[in-house]
Structure 1
């Protein structure tokens, strides 16, 4: 055998050994990085963290990279107001804790976004108002703290309609500008929890938190292909959240699946001594995902609220197809109709209550802010009308500013006969009406299109393809707001313009488990959610 052949065989042997051992090690390293968080559920991410396919630090970096690539450039979704500059540091600490002690919960190490009216330590709570840009809280909102205690990581605060009221500019604020719908850049992401909805839909986090006064979780979730929950009044705390109207406000989750939304609701719900409305929450909180029933529609009786159809042909078609699907699964469908007042509750209930409560409740929130922050509604108005703000790229929406002035002038109505009549007579009457309809028809839930029209034109850009015959496309949302009853919206399809459309399941107080079962059953039968075209999986 020649020396040349021998050397070749030695070299080949070395290469084979190198191929077997170092390459296997390299493969393990590649496999470790192979987990792709895009569109993944909480369960999938939690499993990947537990099995060391990815670290929480890598997860945070992944979402920060997506935010950088897609939120302020590219499609410019503009959903984020403030990045949490301690998110990576927190993630590293949670990775260490995971190795030593195991996970705190399924949410351990999982990033989420928070609407910018929730208090988060180290980040200003602006409510979308530039007047509050330096309003740094001293502790987390109760619900945020519960999620943090479970190991979840606040990665960013999200944009919203200014101080949670849109006044014709859905998802616009002086602090954050306009949030765009990631499914169609000519459409808005509804309001007021537009930023959280757009961010979760665009995969900037695993889930998000919103607030809902008159549809502000359900509307944005509906137009961005998400599951959004408005819980029963009193199931989740509002302490540490800028109030809009505490008789109507709730906090709730937004996620890409029913199970994820249920997991977050389970973690954030509970009694908070600083929010009297939650006094009995601990008696009702449960693990809402422990036994989700995909067959629940097979045995269900569903009322269809016929009053909220007729404003858009495509939305009606999608909703009717959803109802037909339920019937094919065995659901008994019963048409139901509401009283004339309940068909449109804004003027007789929601509007007057909001106007009466806002000033005093908002100023109480401001009173807890550190020195130097605005302390009165007049202070906020003065800053909003300053030349610096008026001449900025994102001045306060003029109609929103007028709304603040109206609230200032109507503060005394909190003690009026009209307000007391609404609280003591009209709201209980509406609850009794819905409860009677449900009882008389032996219904498990009432179903309707979450919004009667698709995502609307952004205020600054005309889209001639948008058609809506509604006086108020959010009218159906007011029923849950006025009664304090729970409602869940779940994706049902999409219109030709590419924006999602959802249907809602409404129930009586503390029927979250039943509603989640029904929504889950529908979701698993239809798989209607799809990925936004403007926020692709691969980011160059």
Structure 2
């Protein structure tokens, strides 16, 4: 909670990378996001725009960049490690999660949602040669992409709409925090993500909290049955 600072945007260097805010002029999203960038400036943030992330197209292409090779094996290993270390949990492994979902298929909406990724991950037997090669390739692209960009421009964060940069952040093991930004014409909410390098969580919380408090963009959802 010590990072919940109302002046959390002041003095922060925030990058606005190309390839994300591609909304047509005069659309709600285009107008609102421009207003938010101006708000950040007024709150003392230093915005650096028109930045190019090297390898962005490849990093975003998770069907062909190797992410789908590395993800299942890493997911199983990481999830099993996490669950086994909890002080209490009704499930202790990915296999037990799959079994739980099967036993509660109605509540878990298994027919509609299914669990394809879970099943694919459970069928892996560790990080094989193809997965290790994919991890090395992705790590290199991340290091020469967003990580390099942030270090060269001494950025505290980059901002992107919604969860559009989630794959880019995840590949590099980097944190991101999303906050409400506005609502489209049909009332559908959209957000803004602050992403940074590993260990940048404190400053991301500062920025996200300050942004959230100054904009008050969230509205309680009103869904009709």
Cα distance in 1 for residues equivalent to 2:34 and 2:14: 13
- Is the contact between residue 15 and residue 49 of structure 2 (CA under 8 Å) also seen in structure 1? yes
Higher relative contact order (CA 8 A, sep 6+): 2
Q: Does 1:334 align with 2:19?
A: no
**Residue in structure 1 matched with residue 173 of structure 2 by the alignment:** 484
Q: Does 1:504 align with 2:219?
A: no
Cα distance in 2 for residues equivalent to 1:477 and 1:357: 17
**Residue in structure 2 matched with residue 524 of structure 1 by the alignment:** 213
> Which deviations, in whole Å up to 9, do the C-alpha atoms of 1:74-117 show, x marking residues without a partner?
xxxxxxxxxxxxxxxxxxxxxxxxxxxxxxxxxxxxxxxxxxxx
TM-score by length of 1: 0.34
Please, which runs of 5 or more residues in structure 2 have no aligned partner? none
Over 3 Å counting, the alpha-carbon distance change for 1:428 and 1:504 in structure 2 is: same
Larger Rg: 1
Report deviation, 1:325.
2.3
Over 3 Å counting, the alpha-carbon distance change for 1:445 and 1:374 in structure 2 is: closer
TM-score by length of 2: 0.73
Cα distance in 2 for residues equivalent to 1:508 and 1:376: 29
Report SS of the residue matched to 2:16: strand
**Residue in structure 2 matched with residue 353 of structure 1 by the alignment:** 70
Report deviation, 1:503.
0.7
How many residues align? The count is: 217
**Residue in structure 2 matched with residue 423 of structure 1 by the alignment:** 135
Report deviation, 1:510.
1.3
Over 3 Å counting, the alpha-carbon distance change for 1:359 and 1:337 in structure 2 is: same
Cα distance in 1 for residues equivalent to 2:109 and 2:119: 16
Q: Which runs of 4+ in 1 moved over 6 A?
A: 372-376
Report deviation, 1:361.
5.6
Please, which runs of 5 or more residues in structure 1 have no aligned partner? 1-262, 264-286, 452-474, 536-540
Over 3 Å counting, the alpha-carbon distance change for 1:532 and 1:440 in structure 2 is: same
Pairing of 1:143-162 with structure 2 (within 5 A): none
**Residue in structure 1 matched with residue 16 of structure 2 by the alignment:** 304
CA RMSD across the alignment: 3.8
> Which deviations, in whole Å up to 9, do the C-alpha atoms of 1:458-513 show, x marking residues without a partner?
xxxxxxxxxxxxxxxxx411122111222121222222222332211111121222
**Residue in structure 1 matched with residue 95 of structure 2 by the alignment:** 377
Over 3 Å counting, the alpha-carbon distance change for 1:363 and 1:302 in structure 2 is: closer
Report SS of the residue matched to 2:204: helix
- Is the contact between residue 16 and residue 47 of structure 2 (CA under 8 Å) also seen in structure 1? no
- Is the contact between residue 3 and residue 203 of structure 2 (CA under 8 Å) also seen in structure 1? no
Cα distance in 1 for residues equivalent to 2:47 and 2:119: 49
Report deviation, 1:346.
5.8
Over 3 Å counting, the alpha-carbon distance change for 1:422 and 1:522 in structure 2 is: same
